Amino acid sequence: MAKRRVVSPTVKRKDRLPPGQHWIQYPLVYDIVERVPDFDIEKYRFKVWGEVENPIELTYEEILKLPSVEVLADFHCVTRWSVKEILWEGVPTSEIVKIVRPKPEAKYVFVYCLEGYTTNLPYEYFVKEDSLLAYKMFGEPLPKEHGFPLRLVVPQLYAWKSAKYVWGIEFRKEDRPGYWEERGYHMVGDPWKEQRYWGD
Give the separation between CA 142 and CA 43, rounded to whole angstroms. 18
Q: How far is CA 11 from the centre of its chain?
A: 17
Does the residue 160 lie in any domain?
Answer: yes
Residues 6+ away with beta carbon under 8 Å from 175: 107, 108, 120, 122, 187
Does the residue 149 lie in any domain?
Answer: yes
Cβ atoms of 149 and 39 closer than 8 Å? yes
Does the residue 30 lie in any domain?
Answer: no
Burial grade of 130 (CB within 10 A; 0-12, 13-18, 19 or more): buried
Residues 6+ away with beta carbon under 8 Å from 147: 134, 163, 164, 165, 166
pLDDT of residue 19: 98
pLDDT of residue 2: 64
Longest dimension (CA), the chain: 48
Give the separation between CA 190 and CA 196, rounded to whole angstroms. 8
Q: Which of 1-10, 99-108, 190-199 has the lowest mean pLDDT?
A: 1-10
Does the residue 107 lie in any domain?
Answer: yes
Q: What is the pLDDT of residues 74-128, one digit of tens each?
A: 999 999 999 999 999 999 999 999 999 999 999 999 999 999 999 999 999 999 9
pLDDT of residue 198: 85
* CB environment 134-147: b (16+ within 10 A), e (fewer): bbbbeeeebeeebb
Q: What value does the mean pLDDT take over residues 136-140?
A: 97
pLDDT of residue 126: 98
Does the residue 165 lie in any domain?
Answer: yes
Does the residue 20 lie in any domain?
Answer: no
Return the higher-pLDDT residue of 107 and 2: 107
Does the residue 25 lie in any domain?
Answer: no
pLDDT of residue 1: 54
> Residue 161 carries which side chain, given as an amino acid letter?
K
Residues 6+ away with beta carbon under 8 Å from 93: 126, 127, 128, 131, 132, 133, 152
Confidence of residue 199 (pLDDT cuts 50, 70, 90): confident
Structural domains counted in the chain: 1
- Dihedral of CA atoms 139, 19, 118, 145 in degrees, nearest 10, equals 40
Q: What is the pLDDT of residues 8-49, one digit of tens each?
A: 999 999 999 999 999 999 999 999 999 998 999 999 999 999
> For the domain that residue 103 is a member of, what is the CATH number?
3.90.420.10
Q: Please tell me whether residue 9 adopts helix, strand or coil conformation.
A: helix
Q: What is the pLDDT of residues 42-76, one digit of tens each?
A: 999 999 999 999 999 999 999 999 999 999 999 99
Does the residue 97 lie in any domain?
Answer: yes
Q: Which domain holds residue 152?
A: 5-11+40-193
